[in-house]
Chain A
Amino acid sequence: MTASTSDTRWLYAQPHDHRIARLAALAIVLAVVDAGIPSPLPGVKPGLANIVTLLALETLGWRAAVWVSLLRILGAGLLLGSLLTPGFFLGLAGGVASLAGLGLTRAWPKRWFGPVSASLVAAFCHIGGQLLLARAWLIPSDNILYFVPAFALAALLSGLVNGIFAGKLLEGSSCAPSTPSPSP
């Protein structure tokens, strides 16, 4: 069958897609900034981009958060040249585990649990996913357990700080879907 003009398909980006793309772009910038911050232990990073994932979760829902997170991991991998390296897969494992954890926190009552809870759960899931993959694939030795408390402490601190940041930004509700955003 030959291609003709009638076969042309147009894919229109909905406003929802624009919001996801905008958040993903923001997350990629933060991920690049994140990679530039020196860290005492490989794998310990503030995870600034997770703030954006939290914003997406609170304003657009879990599926949007999955999109933003995975787009950020892919985009940051492309920009940093780490695509398909062990570090990329560690980030992916942590990201997927985080999203699973965030999915769990969605069921918690909003009255009692806010973005700080979501951020902390996501941070601990992140190191959990990373460590599982590292233990199973990269460093198949129990010596890796020696670093676990340091990772857990980093998750506690970064989870708390990122959660407070996300909460502050949500209070301003500058990125709530109800407010019309200026077109680029």
Chain B
Amino acid sequence: MSRLIRPGDWLVLLGGAVLTGWLAWQLWGQGQARNVTIRAGGQRVASLSLLHNRLVPVQGPLGVTVVEIAGGKARIKQDPSPRQYCVHQGWLSRAGQVAICLPNATSIELTGPDQPYDSLNF
């Protein structure tokens, strides 16, 4: 009764630690992406590993979108679309991230070992 930390307290502490770990694993552990899927006009053009650094030109209705893969990340390096939103998004590194270039109808999507959820159609 007078003990500072009683047996049940250890259980509660363990439960809290497990909950914290589970939350971190669920919300932070979706981890690094492994592959990038490149689409043009809704069609999948290529699915490439992020481990090989390279530049990939993709043809769209306005011109060529250049996708750069380097150091486990991917970005739209160049795009003819007027507002350049997808270029300004910069480097993508987490699974599930997407950069879409409109109206050139090209996009890149990062995928991991397990896909958390589709952020566009969820």
Binding site for B on A (CB under 8 A): 108-114, 116-117, 120-121, 124, 145-146, 148-149, 152-153, 155-156, 159-160, 163-164, 167-168, 171
- The bracket for how many chain B residues form the interface is 10 to 19
Q: Is the Cβ of A159 less than 8 Å from the Cβ of B16?
A: yes
Bound-state Cα–Cα, A149 to B18, Å: 11
Given known pairs A114-B4, A114-B6, A167-B4, the reply for A148 and B27 (CB within 8 Å) is: yes
> Would you give 17 A-B contacts (Cβ < 8 Å), ordered by A?
A111-B1, A111-B6, A114-B8, A116-B4, A116-B9, A117-B8, A145-B27, A148-B23, A148-B27, A149-B20, A149-B24, A149-B28, A152-B19, A156-B20, A159-B16, A164-B5, A167-B5
**A118, chain B: closest CB distance, angstroms:** 9
Contact of A113 among B12, B23, B27, B28 (CB under 8 A): B12
A110 to B17, CA, bound (A): 22
Contact present for B19 and A108 (CB under 8 Å)? no
The answer to whether A113 touches B9 (Cβ under 8 A) is: yes
B17 contacts A113, C-beta separation under 8 Å: no
In terms of DSSP, what is the predominant structure of the interface of chain A? helix
Provide the main secondary structure of the chain B interface: helix
How long is the Cα–Cα vector from A114 to B8 in the complex, in angstroms? 8
Q: A171: which B residues are within 8 A, CB to CB?
A: 2, 4
Residues on B with beta carbons closer than 8 Å to the beta carbon of A121: 12
Chain B nearest CB: distance from A128 CB in Å? 11
Which residues of B (8-51) have their CB < 8 Å from a CB of A? 8-9, 12-13, 16-17, 19-20, 23-24, 27-28
